[in-house]
């Protein structure tokens, strides 16, 4: 049991995440970098297979060359005794398979968004000459933000090589297996495109296009049956989206997208309104070729097969037709033979000479020159060396180099141009890039001292002055920050240095409103407060009457200005007066209503608005109440049928 153990004195195993046919995946903690990682460990029953082990390491090293936001990063590859492991990025979330099971069917927009991430990742892998070979939702992880990342790069390629060697079978998950793989052919980039098409089908429908009771029965459907229509499942799915599925899953690889990039370009516009009702994708018919389609029979089915796992699928082949019965041949008339023994003797002599020459030269191994692989990636260098007949050492040497960029080959051992026999192992020396320097923390130090320390090591620093309460010349901020590592000779440190405290000259703020005060102090880097509020007959209410910090005074930035705010003019004495008026009823015809309107002008009333309105059919006594402010003149007016019949005005002092 590995839980609790430490691998290579660095990775502490926390728990088992999952497992497959060839390896198990554990959650581990990187004790050096203090982060959680996923660690894939080759199962014990495969550790003694040297070829598998070498390929496992080689393909894992290839995967480290893949850097893409939608590919799970490979951090480290190594051995610890009999344990062979790969350390990968730990993605906290769920698999795409779990997401489909929980939320399917997925909307076309969301499905296309996911597929664009997947095609971008696979395109990156193909650019690096890596074919995934086992694309399926179980190998796609989804984080909490809904971003997807593909995992298990290179491992499927490793295991398939072993499968071919041992059983001549094809490795893959049968539900996503391309027709050419099912026939026992070599997987290509178009095999990955086929699997992506199946994944899109599953996203849109929540189902797999082909199912059966055994792996072989499903593989037969990949070979013989057309991909079902997603629009038959949901008619609202645009035809343009279905066309992506149909083209990606075409039986003949030549009818699929040429590259994953082409598929990605199609996905970019697939939801455009002008494409929603485009014609259905149809496989072009080749009228010049007539093909005989054989009937392929399915072998006996097994009820207990797990069809979701990556597995070895025996290639489906057609039995050869029995040869036609030979026609009888007429008996030849015997002819007298000539003696041929002298020819036989001559032939034997020539053969003996040829064999002697062959043994002479064949037993002397031919030497070939080690090719130049400098500036190539490990994958490119390995391919070139193997193509020349050399093998490549499992553990490349590493060293810093100012001229060769990181992860590219500096030189080989034996050196380029050295002659060696075929099969010689060549070790690679790989660049770690330019050696980096860990940045120190210079904050709180004087800029003059730091400049002296950095001179000759770093580029000239970029310095900007900022006002601060720190002593003048003190470094307040820096970029980059420790413990970042940088290439010193290419790096210019950036420093913000204290210029001391900023001084501000106070302006005359009398008559400023509160809003104007807010804007002023914000602009000057000051604050303000109300000392008190007083009545004032000349300064409007809410504006500054006076300031306690006099205009022209210099203060530190951040200081507070105290001001006196106006409450407006002081209130005057008020009297309340009530007068009673008699409104005479004088109709032109007895019994007719007359309309009365009373208008008042005082502290709270205006003649623009009626004080009272009512009808009368007889004389009416009415009380009018006035609110009179000191120094104010008030008045009233009575209208009967719109005619003024009484009006009067009087002053504050007239009221006793």
Summarize the annotated binding site as residue ranges: 40
Q: Are 443 and 476 in contact (CB under 8 A)?
A: yes
C-alpha atoms less than 13 angstroms from C-alpha of 184 in its C-beta half-sphere: 10
Q: Which of 513, 541, 566 is the last residue of a domain?
A: 566
CA distances to 178, 527, 531, 553, 563 from 545, rounded to whole Å, are 86, 18, 11, 18, 8
Residues 517, 476: one domain? no
DSSP letters for 606-633: -TTS-SEEEEESS-EEEEEEEEEETT-E
pLDDT digits (tens, 9 = 90+) for 221-272: 999 999 999 999 999 999 999 999 999 999 999 999 999 999 999 999 999 9
Residues 65, 126: one domain? no
CA distances to 333, 341, 378, 600, 612 from 575, rounded to whole Å, are 158, 158, 102, 15, 21
Check residue 296 and give its pLDDT: 44
pLDDT digits (tens, 9 = 90+) for 373-388: 999 999 999 999 999 9
Q: Are 145 and 106 in contact (CB under 8 A)?
A: no
Residue with tokens 């007959």: 537
Higher pLDDT, 416 or 167: 416
Candidates 80, 134, 427, 441; catalytic one = 134
CA-nearest of 347, 1, 324, 316 to 169 is: 316
Q: Is residue 429 part of a domain?
A: no
User: What percentage of the chain exceeds 70 in pLDDT?
Assistant: 81
pTM (predicted TM-score): 0.47
Euclidean distance between CA atoms 75 and 87, whole angstroms: 5
Q: Is residue 390 part of a domain?
A: no
Q: Which of 257, 275, 293 is the last residue of a domain?
A: 275
Euclidean distance between CA atoms 423 and 389, whole angstroms: 6
Q: Are 209 and 176 in contact (CB under 8 A)?
A: no
Q: What is the 3-state secondary structure (H, E, C) of 551-606?
A: CCCEEECCCEEEEEEECCCCCCCEEEEEEEEEECCCCCCCCCCEEEEEEEECCCCC
CA-nearest of 211, 238, 231 to 305 is: 211
Euclidean distance between CA atoms 252 and 200, whole angstroms: 19
Residues 246, 138: one domain? yes
pLDDT digits (tens, 9 = 90+) for 470-526: 889 999 999 999 989 898 988 999 999 999 888 999 999 999 999 999 999 999 999
- pLDDT tier at 355, thresholds 50, 70, 90: low
CA-nearest of 521, 527, 565, 563 to 543 is: 565
> 625: Cβ–Cβ under 8 A, 6 or more apart, which residues?
576, 577, 578
Residues 121, 268: one domain? yes
Residues 227, 126: one domain? yes
Euclidean distance between CA atoms 236 and 250, whole angstroms: 23
Q: Which of 89, 112, 137 is the last residue of a domain?
A: 89
User: Pairing relation of β-strands 425-431 and 391-392?
Assistant: parallel
Instruction: Count structural domains, the chain.
Output: 5
- With a cut of 60, say whether residue 275 has pLDDT above it: yes
Euclidean distance between CA atoms 519 and 92, whole angstroms: 48
Residues 507, 483: one domain? no
Check which CATH number belongs to the domain holding 460 and give it.
3.30.10.20
Q: Which helix (H) or strand (E) holds 465?
A: strand 459-466
Check residue 344 and give its pLDDT: 60
Question: Is 134 noted as a catalytic residue in this protein?
Answer: yes
Residues 111, 254: one domain? yes
Q: Is residue 418 part of a domain?
A: no
pLDDT digits (tens, 9 = 90+) for 81-116: 888 899 999 999 999 999 999 899 999 999 999 999
DSSP bridge partners of 170: 313
Residues 537, 642: one domain? no
Residues 149, 247: one domain? yes
Q: How many residues are given for the chain?
A: 656
Q: Tell me which residue range forms the domain holding 65.
A: 6-89
> 627: Cβ–Cβ under 8 A, 6 or more apart, which residues?
574, 575, 576, 602, 603, 604, 605
Summarize the annotated binding site for ATP as residue ranges: 40
User: Pairing relation of β-strands 11-19 and 6-7?
Assistant: antiparallel
Q: Is residue 337 part of a domain?
A: no
- With a cut of 50, say whether residue 338 has pLDDT above it: no
Euclidean distance between CA atoms 122 and 118, whole angstroms: 6
- With a cut of 50, say whether residue 150 has pLDDT above it: yes
- pLDDT tier at 156, thresholds 50, 70, 90: very low
Residues 207, 117: one domain? yes
Q: Are 189 and 162 in contact (CB under 8 A)?
A: no
For the sheet containing 148-150, what is the strand order?
Answer: 93-95, 140-143, 148-150
């Amino acid at each position: 049991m590995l839980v609790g153990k430490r691998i290579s004195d660095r990775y502490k195993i926390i728990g088992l995440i999952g497992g497959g046919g060839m390896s198990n995946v554990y959650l581990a903690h990187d004790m050096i970098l203090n982060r959680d990682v996923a660690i894939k460990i080759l199962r014990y029953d495969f550790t003694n297979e040297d070829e598998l082990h070498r390929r496992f390491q080689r393909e894992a090293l290839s995967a480290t060359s893949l850097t893409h936001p939608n590919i799970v990063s490979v951090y480290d590859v190594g051995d610890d005794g009999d344990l062979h492991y790969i350390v990968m990025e730990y993605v906290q979330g769920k698999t795409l398979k779990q997401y489909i099971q929980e939320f399917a069917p997925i909307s076309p927009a969301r499905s296309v968004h996911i597929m664009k991430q997947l095609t971008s990742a696979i395109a990156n892998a193909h650019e690096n000459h890596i074919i995934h070979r086992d694309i399926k939702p179980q190998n796609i992880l989804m984080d909490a933000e809904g971003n997807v990342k593909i995992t298990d790069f290179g491992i499927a390629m490793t295991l398939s090589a072993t499968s071919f060697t041992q059983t001549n079978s094809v490795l893959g998950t049968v539900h996503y297996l391309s027709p050419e793989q099912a026939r026992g052919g070599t997987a290509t980039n178009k095999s990955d495109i086929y699997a992506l098409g199946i994944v899109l089908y599953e996203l849109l429908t929540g189902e797999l296009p082909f199912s059966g009771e055994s792996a072989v029965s499903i593989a037969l459907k990949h070979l013989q049956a057309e991909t079902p229509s997603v629009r038959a499942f949901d008619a609202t799915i645009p035809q343009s989206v279905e066309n992506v599925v149909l083209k990606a899953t075409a039986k003949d690889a030549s009818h699929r997208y040429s590259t994953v990039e082409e598929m990605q370009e199609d996905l970019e516009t697939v939801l455009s309104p002008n494409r929603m009702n485009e014609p259905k994708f149809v496989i072009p018919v080749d009228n010049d070729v007539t093909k005989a389609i054989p009937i392929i029979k399915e072998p006996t089915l097994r009820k207990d097969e797990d069809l979701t796992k990556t597995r070895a699928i025996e290639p489906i082949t057609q039995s050869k037709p029995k040869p036609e019965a030979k026609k009888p041949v007429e008996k030849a008339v015997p002819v007298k033979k000539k003696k041929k023994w002298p020819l036989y003797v001559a032939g034997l002599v020539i053969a003996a000479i040829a064999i002697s020459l062959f043994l002479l030269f064949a037993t002397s191994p031919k030497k070939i020159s080690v090719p130049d692989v400098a500036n190539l990636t490990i994958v490119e260098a390995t391919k070139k060396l193997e193509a020349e007949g050399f093998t490549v050492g499992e553990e490349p040497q590493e060293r810093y180099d100012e001229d060769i960029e990181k992860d590219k080959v500096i030189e080989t051992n034996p050196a380029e141009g050295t002659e060696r026999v075929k099969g010689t192992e060549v070790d690679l020396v790989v660049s770690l890039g330019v050696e980096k320097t860990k940045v120190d923390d210079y904050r709180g130090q004087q800029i003059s001292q730091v400049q002296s320390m950095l001179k000759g090591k770093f580029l000239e620093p970029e310095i900007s002055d900022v006002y601060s309460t720190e002593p003048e010349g003190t470094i307040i901020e820096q970029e980059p920050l420790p413990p970042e590592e940088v290439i010193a000779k290419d790096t210019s440190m950036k420093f913000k240095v204290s210029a001391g405290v900023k001084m501000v000259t106070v302006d005359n703020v009398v008559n400023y409103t509160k809003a104007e005060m807010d804007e002023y102090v914000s602009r000057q880097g000051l604050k303000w407060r109300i000392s008190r509020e007083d009545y004032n007959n000349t300064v409007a209410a809410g504006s500054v009457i006076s300031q306690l910090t006099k205009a022209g005074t210099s203060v530190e930035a951040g200081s507070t200005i105290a001001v006196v705010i106006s409450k407006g003019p002081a209130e005057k004495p008020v009297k309340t007066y009530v007068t009673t008026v008699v409104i005479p009823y004088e109709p032109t015809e007895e019994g007719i209503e007359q309309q009365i309107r009373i208008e008042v002008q005082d502290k709270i009333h205006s003649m623009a608005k009626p004080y009272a309105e009512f009808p009368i059919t007889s004389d009416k006594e009415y009380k009018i109440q006035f609110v009179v402010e000191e120094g104010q003149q008030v008045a009233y007016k009575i209208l009967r049928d719109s005619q003024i019949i009484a009006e009067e005005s009087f002053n504050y002092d007239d009221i006793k």
